[in-house]
Amino acid sequence: MVSIKDIASQCGVSIATVSKALNDHHDVSGPTKALIRETAKKMGYLPNSQARALKTNRTYNLGVLFVERASSGLTHSHFASVLNGFKNEAEANGYDITFINQNIGGNTMTYYEHCVFRGVDGVVIACVDDFEDTGVAELIGSSVPAVTIDYISENRPAIVSDNAEGMKALTEYICRMGHRKIAYIYGDQSKVTSIRLESFCRTLEDLNIKVDEKYLIRGKYHDPETTETLARKLVELDDPPTCIIMPDDFAALGGITAFEKLGMSIPDDISIAGYDGITLSQFLHPRLTTYRQDTEMIGAEAARQLISMIKKEIPADPPVVTVSGCLIKGSSVKNLAGE
């Protein structure tokens, strides 16, 4: 491995001069600086990240804590897109990314200990089903700069999708299409689920439509198999719904499978809607009616807020940034209004 001592010897200058040139100090002449940098490049010199951290007090490394019950990891279309937005913005600002977990080299660590072990400058906490989990709570309450996604915590910037407005827009559209018997298979217990479920019920009440408890069933996010079972139960009720909102677009595949097995046609026999607006949803037949979350923006904004926090540019009262999405009408909801 090439060292700055090797470069100094090759250029006939001191080690201090090489260090200053590589760090763009102004007390080294332009020609000398150019010579040293060109020599370093030819010799294949790469700066040591640990040495850099000692000088700058930064590693330029951001942690990502990504935990969810389904353990689908980066195959989770929605959060893969969120993390891609985070990654692109982080890299554009010169940062690397490290995934945070609790198993390093066979040794168990807390999330906080892993962050310290890797020396991350900050961490984004995404898709954690239980923010009250001891390990997550410890990390949020620690000195490590942190930004949360879809969870609001004291003294931490938060990036949240407008789940209330999204569910309201989706439910209002279904009602405008003439549906009054609307079922909702909602996801795992979480803050996001609570917000969406409350918005769904409130929207129906505002439209003077009765909220029927038998049409509200708890399911799982990103789980087509569970959704298939629950969707079948709903359409086999004595008084079945005319439209079912699925937990998310990926889970909606289970509902579609259930109806195909029953010989039912979408939307002629049953209408469905999803949530998230993943790319796959618009290649289904019929195209899925859904609410598209701006996942790339959510991820990018999380990176921007985290970097600002690292640079100590965040105000005393950390911001809650709400990211809006948009309704995708698709063609999976039948028009019963006759308009």
CATH number of domain containing 203:
3.40.50.2300
Name which residue leads in pLDDT, 129 or 39: 39
- Check whether residue 182 and residue 155 sit in a common domain: no
Are 104 and 216 within one domain? no
Q: How sure is the predictor about 56, in pLDDT bands with cuts at 50, 70 and 90?
A: low
Chain segment 325-338, per-residue pLDDT in tens? 999 999 999 999 87
Residues 272 and 189 in one domain: yes
> Do 33 and 91 reside in the same domain of the chain?
no
Let me know whether 153 and 184 are in one domain: no
Do 183 and 276 belong together in one domain? yes
In a domain, 126, yes or no: yes
DSSP string for residues in 213-257: GGGEEE--TT-HHHHHHHHHHHHTSSS--SEEE-SSHHHHHHHHH
For residue 191, the model assigns a pLDDT of: 85
Q: Mark whether 258 and 276 lie in a shared domain.
A: yes
Comparing 135 with 162, the larger pLDDT belongs to: 162
- Under 8 Å between Cβ of 293 and 325: yes
φ/ψ of 64, rounded to 5, equals -125, 115
Confidence of residue 24 (pLDDT cuts 50, 70, 90): confident
pLDDT at 128: 59
pLDDT at position 75 over 70? no
> 3-state SS string over 112-123?
HHHHHHHCCCEE
Task: Please compute, for residue 327, the number of CA atoms within 13 A of its CA located in the half-sphere on the CB side.
Answer: 15
Q: Supply the angle between the helices 295-310 and 77-92 in degrees, to the nearest 10.
A: 40
- Which of 143, 196, 146, 151 is closest to 169 using CA atoms? 196
285 with 188, same domain?
yes
Q: Which two tokens stand for residue 21?
A: 């040139």
**Token pair for 311:** 């640079």
Indicate whether 184 and 260 sit together in one domain.
yes
Q: Note whether residue 336 is domain-resident.
A: no
Residue ranges of E strands in 87-143: 96-99, 103-104, 107-108, 122-126
- For residue 12, the enclosing domain spans 4-47
Q: Is the pLDDT of residue 242 over 90?
A: yes
| Tokens, residue 154 | 């004291």
Residue 197 pLDDT class (50, 70, 90 cuts):
very high
Domains: count for the chain: 3
Extended beta strands in the chain, E state: 61-66, 96-99, 103-104, 107-108, 122-126, 146-149, 158-161, 182-186, 216-218, 243-245, 271-273, 290-292, 320-323, 326-328
Is residue 150 domain-shared with residue 261, that is, in the same domain?
no
How much is the pLDDT for 71? Answer: 59
Q: Quick check: is 55 in a domain?
A: no
Full-prediction pTM beyond 0.85?
no
Mention every residue, 6+ apart, whose C-beta is less than 8 A from residue 10: 39, 43
Beta strand ranges found along 175-245 (DSSP E)? 182-186, 216-218, 243-245
- What is the Cα–Cα distance from 121 to 114, expressed in whole angstroms? 12
Which range of 8-22, 45-59, 290-304 scores highest in mean pLDDT? It is: 290-304
Sign of the Cα pseudo-torsion (202, 204, 208, 211, in order): negative
Residue 333 lies in a domain: no
Q: Does residue 339 lie within any of the structural domains?
A: no
